[in-house]
Amino acid sequence: MGTVVMHNVVSVDGFIADSEDQVGPLFDWYSNGDAEIGVNDKVSVSEVSAAYVRPMWAGTGAMVIGRHLFDITNGWEGSPPAGEHVVVVSHRPRPEGWHPEASYYFVDDVGQAVAKARELAGDRTVAVAAGEVGGQALALGVVDEVAMDVVPVVFGSGKRYFGPVDAQHLLEDPHVVIQGDRVLHLRYKVRRQFRR
């Protein structure tokens, strides 16, 4: 089975968007370089960031997101930014007639969503969107690593990277620390007493 990685772009003070779901300058680094990373023509980052992002996105087999992100992005019109499959945590079903060809699954439980994504991804990585769903997955103990693209901005308030997490979770020292242009890429393994 592949690694489950909780991931998002985040402000220095730990927010993935403001209270109105606006990301402000958090995604500016996605267009501040000359290296395309293969998603679309709007994404061209620094060479350093591209060397990190390309293999991470190419290694992703499935994503787990919340219904809120699905609704905001309209599920990327059935073409996710990474991976071939998306599992949406939602108590509502797939919208009627919405991209029937897209490999999107709607599951009403975070643990079951991660299990489904692992099944779909096989040996590839499962990317869990940080925020409410990511925080719940971390609290359930199903996240193996935390990946953050830290942007030098302070939001002060908004949507928290770790969502509803209200307990202490220890991480190992970062095993990835890469300074891009206006972004710092960090990756931490989640420390556990036991491995699943």
Q: What is the pLDDT of residue 195?
A: 45
Low-confidence spans in the chain with pLDDT less than 50: 194-196
For residues 109-144, one letter each, b for 16 or more C-beta atoms within 10 angstroms of the residue's C-beta and e for the rest, the string is ebeebbbbbbebbeebbbbbbbbbbbbbbbbeebbb
**pTM score, whole prediction:** 0.93
What is the per-residue pLDDT for 196?
47
Per-residue pLDDT, 35: 87
Q: Which of 47, 21, 42, 26 is nearest to 148 (CA)?
A: 26
